[in-house]
Amino acid sequence: MTDITALERDLSERIAASGDDAALEAVRVAALGKKGQVSELLKSLGGMSPDERKMQGPAINGLRDRVTTAIAEKKQALADADLQRRLETERVDVTLPAVPFPFDPGAGRIHPVSQVTDELIAIFADMGFGVAEGPDIERDDYNFTKLNIPPEHPARQMHDTFYLNGNAGDGARAVLRTHTSPVQIRTMLTQKPPIRIIVPGRTYRSDSDQTHTPMFHQVEGLVIDETTHMGHLKWTLEEFCKAFFEVPQVKMRFRASHFPFTEPSAEVDIQCDRSGDTVKFGEGNDWLEILGCGMVHPKVIANCGLDPEKYQGFAFGCGIDRLAMLKYGLPDLRAFFDSDLRWLKHYGFSVLEQPSLAMGLTR
């Protein structure tokens, strides 16, 4: 007759000594498996006399229950310890300072969109532009109506707008802004000219393929004063392109176009060479469209409570993601927003090198 007390003591010790799931499983099989010690005891009940069974039954069943519980508890304790160990070893301390050297392959990198945004800000700040911002959830009238895009205007369909439930203040319909242009309105409504701003930020359209994502980035430019004209616009964009693509000369082509909020309007192409693997700027026979621009429409100026007889100026709007793709040879826009750390490590930028005109935009 097996000594139940001795068997229980032995099993308890073996359970306690199990250092991992495999060891614990071995104890379980040895005790409760088909041929386990406890299972054999349970089987022996069948061959006992009724009196014997009355005594041994509760004892053996009790043993089985206690061993089962002990194993389950140990399993949970092992899982808890494992989680604790992982939490400790895999913890990321976001307050640690960045280590410049030696290069840490585990360190975070600056996303190309952030890098290009910083480059744009550095270039335009040098030309005296301030940075303005507006909300991603925008009023329908700022996104469209005040920009001379009335209800039913075909441009509204072209924008593939995400409309939101609820309103954005005094009954205005709320939309995810489809461009950064509504910040022109916000700025002219609250500031007196002279105005000289750029607006980098997120924009949204219901559109998705290799070159479109539902969320993307634009930078808007706006200059309003009493004398600014098309010549200033052209010079500004040329200086910007030379600085951005880091080439001594760029050829640009201003094609007449149409935007409801500018008159006249133009689309701008820059000269490039696409014969090799990468696009080269400042040479070649190809043209790439990079932005839309024009003189701010007098109606837009008047919609913001300014006198269009007195004030005039230019605006432009440009896709930041596209600029990043062109400058850094990134093939697929969708990868920008996959949050794949391997992509970021390959295409990202050092956290310690702020783009500046004096030190160079990229090193």
Q: Which residue is nearest to ligand DAH (CB)?
A: 317
Indicate the residue among 187 and 262 with the shorter CB distance to ligand DAH: 262
- Selected from 124, 244, 245, 259, the binder of ligand DAH by CB under 6 A is 259
> What is the spatial distance between Cα 302 and Cα 308, in angstroms, rounded to a whole number?
6
Taken as a whole, the chain contains a residue count of: 363
- Selected from 204, 311, 316, 336, the binder of ligand DAH by CB under 6 A is 316
- Selected from 28, 173, 177, 179, the binder of ligand DAH by CB under 6 A is 179
> What is the spatial distance between Cα 180 and Cα 201, in angstroms, rounded to a whole number?
7
Angle, CA 294 vertex, CA 292 and CA 295 arms, to 5°:
160
Indicate the residue among 117 and 262 with the shorter CB distance to ligand DAH: 262
Question: H helices then E strands: how many in the chain?
Answer: 12, 11
Indicate the residue among 193 and 292 with the shorter CB distance to ligand DAH: 292
259 beta partners: 262
> What is the spatial distance between Cα 12 and Cα 332, in angstroms, rounded to a whole number?
59
- Selected from 149, 317, 323, 324, the binder of ligand DAH by CB under 6 A is 317
Query: Would strands 195-204 and 130-131 be described as parallel, antiparallel, or unpaired?
Result: parallel
Indicate the residue among 204 and 245 with the shorter CB distance to ligand DAH: 204
Indicate the residue among 15 and 318 with the shorter CB distance to ligand DAH: 318
For the CA atoms of 298, 303, 304, 306, the dihedral, rounded to the nearest 10 degrees, stands at 50
Q: Does 236 bind ligand DAH (CB under 6 A)?
A: no
Binding region for ligand DAH (CB under 6 A) out of 4-12, 115-123, 291-299, 346-354: 291-299
Q: Does 315 bind ligand DAH (CB under 6 A)?
A: yes
Indicate the residue among 122 and 183 with the shorter CB distance to ligand DAH: 183
> What is the spatial distance between Cα 279 and Cα 234, in angstroms, rounded to a whole number?
23
Q: Which 40-69 residues touch ligand DAH, going by CB under 6 A?
A: none
Indicate the residue among 207 and 338 with the shorter CB distance to ligand DAH: 207
Q: Does 293 bind ligand DAH (CB under 6 A)?
A: yes
Shortest Cβ 235–ligand DAH spacing (Å):
16
**What end-to-end distance do the CA atoms of the chain give, in Å?**
82
Binding region for ligand DAH (CB under 6 A) out of 40-48, 133-141, 279-287, 290-298: 290-298
Q: Which two tokens stand for residue 342?
A: 């391997």
Residue with tokens 């939490």: 87
The residue type of 162 is F
Q: Does 313 bind ligand DAH (CB under 6 A)?
A: no
Q: Does 303 bind ligand DAH (CB under 6 A)?
A: no
> What is the spatial distance between Cα 76 and Cα 69, in angstroms, rounded to a whole number?
11
Q: Does 112 bind ligand DAH (CB under 6 A)?
A: no
Kindly state the number of chain residues that form the binding site for ligand DAH, as judged by CB under 6 A: 11
- Selected from 175, 220, 241, 290, the binder of ligand DAH by CB under 6 A is 220
Q: Does 123 bind ligand DAH (CB under 6 A)?
A: no
DSSP codes, 29-88? HHHHSTT-HHHHHHHHGGGS-HHHHHHHHHHHHHHHHHHHHHHHHHHHHHHHHHHHHHHH
Shortest Cβ 350–ligand DAH spacing (Å):
31
> What is the spatial distance between Cα 55 and Cα 210, in angstroms, rounded to a whole number?
76
Indicate the residue among 201 and 294 with the shorter CB distance to ligand DAH: 294
**155: burial class by Cβ within 10 Å (0-12, 13-18, 19+)?**
middle
Q: Does 294 bind ligand DAH (CB under 6 A)?
A: yes
User: Which residues contribute to the site for ligand DAH (CB under 6 A)?
Assistant: 179, 181, 220, 259, 262, 292-294, 315-317
